[in-house]
Chains A and B, each alone.
Chain A
Amino acid sequence: MIDALHGIIKGAVQTLSVTIQNWLPPLLAGVTILLVAYIVAVLVRLLLARIIRGVAFDRFLSQSGISSIIDGTGRLRATQLVAGTAYWIILGIGSLTALSAFNTLLTSRIVETVVFLFPKVVTAALILLAGFWLAQYLGRSTLVWAVNEGIVFSRRLAGAVRIVIVFVAVVVAADTLDFARSVFLAAFIILVGGAVLAASLALGFGARGWVQRQLEAESQRLHEEERSVWHHL
């Protein structure tokens, strides 16, 4: 009994020591890599913040309205953007390198997936950014036009324009990432179809009276013509 218990404990200790022997070095290596990456990222961020005096780039960000899309206050600076981007890229590379240190099937897959997805994610992010910018711009155009035309629900109209454009951007971005493609496509078709149907109904109801008047006038005219033709008889 005691021997059996001893054997079990010994086995467990051996397994644990093997596991530790197998995992501890890569774990330590991973943590070290992460730590180094973090220190490098912080240093690079500090360095870039001091080196870059992106006055022209700041102006571009502010004038194009990109700063207000990324940062709600609209006070985003070029130095912040560049330094922040460099910081996260270094941290991301460090994380992937740290994961690679484990050298298992799972970690290899994760690294591969991230490397494979990265360009797509960047493309999708750019599409979304462009979509948000366009939505803001066209939304404002609609708003100003609607207010000057005296349309009552100007802000709602502008909001609708923004939603449609952002939705289109999301659909395109999702398509780029191969993410829930059919769901977004179906939703998009339903939305556009619904909007067209609503517009048709609105136009139809609005124009009903006009069409009726036109038909009545035409019928009256024909009647008059007919009367004038036969009148002399």
Chain B
Amino acid sequence: MSGDVSSASDASPPEPGAALDCADIVVGVPTYNNARTIAHVVRAIHTGLCKYFPQFSAVIVNSDGGSTDDTRDILMSSRVGGVPILMLSTPMFPVHRLSLPYHGIPGKGSAFRLIFQMAEKLRASACIVIDADLRSVTPEWVDLLLRPIIYAGYDLVTPHYHRHKYDGTITSSIVYPLTRALYGRRVRQPIGGDFGVSGRLISRYLQRGDWDDNVARYDVDLWMTTIAVAEGYRVCQSFLGENIHATRDPGADLSTMLQQVVGSVFSLMQEYENVWLARSGSESVDLFGFRRDAALDQIPINLPRMLQAFQRGCAELGEVWEMALTDDTLRKVRRLVADSHFHMNDDLWARVIYDFACAYKERPLERGHLLRSLAPLYLGRLASFMIETQDLYSAGVDEKIEQLCVTFEDLKPYLISRWTGRKPAEPQNRTKMGQELGVEVKS
């Protein structure tokens, strides 16, 4: 079967072939012009499967988005032979490789859908998806993403990366605190990119009819995590180490990114309104793997430019922000411009995000404007965070992020009152309560 190339459309995945009618494990690798890294990724996956899961039959499913380079040729010809690998046991089954071009809607969502369809057809009990442009992937990733599903009965394994303190700030300042406060599960990387999914959860994903919507098309990772945590599936995290990609899209525009990512969170908020309105606080999610710190590449930051963007937003975007922010919040935001020590505190930031979430619900026609106008506010918050954490190491930064999350959780009654139009309940300031009781409050 190795080397088979089939075609597939969105609606009907191809038959895997007579020789391959079932597999225990499916490894999905969505690709698009990843000729430089694909060989390394496939070798790592292959080695991981042989080393950690030799007793299981496995298939590597590549879903290619129409690469114009040699991605698919390299993928089909990449072999582990010649690479010195220490095999602890001999695999009982060969590892097959399928390469399927998808012709659906462009985007990661279509690739994931095809991979899941193949996994369901092959009756796989577990499926993992790994980005094809990763330089940091190791065979251990396969183990870390698969083992909790196969041996511990988890439905979704999300990644937990070791990242630079200023890497992934949309996640750490908006997506993580917000999803945690909403659904009560502390999933650190809801938009990770690499996942492990059980057969049961794959069936649930495939049952859904919103694969063609923007959320599933552009933010399939967030969509998957949210469905899992909102619908009560068993979720855990695996520490994968560094997450180094070969390429980052330099043309990716911040306001567009915010529109897509934050818009997806807000959109899912509407769908799971009944779930999150009933939940409060948060509980930790099991973390597998060995946490370690390593030196990471510096991320260049331009603080004056961020502050300038924030000030420009304050001066010009009043009429758009007025649609979302309450008078009090807007006044506090504007006051920051005159502050000699610029600091946008957690409380203000959480209120800004909650106000925007409510405005997103109330003003469907203005959603694009609202989300794009969030960019200067986000840059302001980011500048404040950077000023605050410039001398801190990762542990200190994690503590700051934790404080932000607690603030989001404490202010959830405010969100509920604005969202539903009901009177706010008494704020549950756990940090303050803890201080009063003389106890350290852990979240």
Contact = CB atoms under 8 A, between A and B. Distances in A.
Interface of A: 62-65, 137, 140-141, 143-148, 150, 154-155
B365 A147 contact: no
Given A150-B309, A150-B312, A144 B317 contact: yes
Interface stretch (B22-30, B57-65, B370-378): B370-378
A143 B319 contact: yes
Q: Is chain B's binding surface mostly helix, strand, loop or mixed? A: helix
Contacts of B320: 140, 143-144
Contact of B316 (A63, A141, A154): A154
Given A140-B319, A143-B319, A155-B316, A148 B376 contact: yes
A141 B368 contact: yes
B317 A147 contact: yes
Contacts of A154: 312, 316
B362 A147 contact: no
Contacts of A62: 362-363
Interface string B250-273: 000111000000000000000000
B210 interface: no
A141 B317 CA distance: 11
Contacts of B148: none
Nearest to A141: B369
B362 A63 contact: yes
Given A141-B369, A148-B372, A63 B363 contact: yes
A85 B98 CA distance: 66
Nearest to A146: B316
A140 B366 contact: yes
A64 B365 contact: yes
Given A63-B365, A140-B319, A144-B320, 18 more contacts: A62-B363, A63-B362, A64-B365, A65-B363, A65-B365, A140-B366, A140-B369, A141-B368, A143-B317, A143-B319, A144-B369, A144-B372, A144-B373, A145-B372, A147-B313, A148-B255, A148-B309, A150-B309
Q: Which of A64, A140, A150: most chain B CB closer than 10 A? A: A140
B81 interface: no
Q: Which of B253, B254, B309, B366: most chain A CB closer than 10 A? A: B366
Interface residues of B, number: 21
Contacts of B253: 148
A43 B51 CA distance: 84
Nearest to B371: A144
B312 A147 contact: yes
B365 A148 contact: no
Interface in B297-320: 309, 312-313, 316-317, 319-320
Contacts of A155: 316
B319 A147 contact: no
Contacts of A148: 253-255, 309, 372, 375-376
A74 to B, nearest CB: 9
A145 B255 CA distance: 9
A65 B255 CA distance: 23
Nearest to A139: B319
Contacts of B368: 141
24 contacts: A62-B363, A63-B363, A64-B365, A65-B363, A140-B319, A141-B368, A141-B369, A143-B316, A143-B317, A143-B320, A144-B369, A146-B316, A147-B312, A147-B313, A147-B316, A147-B317, A147-B373, A147-B376, A148-B253, A148-B255, A148-B309, A148-B372, A148-B375, A154-B312
Nearest to B370: A144
Contacts of A65: 363, 365-366
Contacts of B364: 63
A65 to B, nearest CB: 6
Nearest to B379: A148
A56 to B, nearest CB: 13
A68 B319 CA distance: 12
A154 B316 CA distance: 7
A150 B365 CA distance: 24
A78 to B, nearest CB: 16
A207 B368 CA distance: 33
Contacts of A63: 362-365
Contacts of B317: 143-144, 147
Contacts of B316: 143, 146-147, 154-155
B112 to A, nearest CB: 30
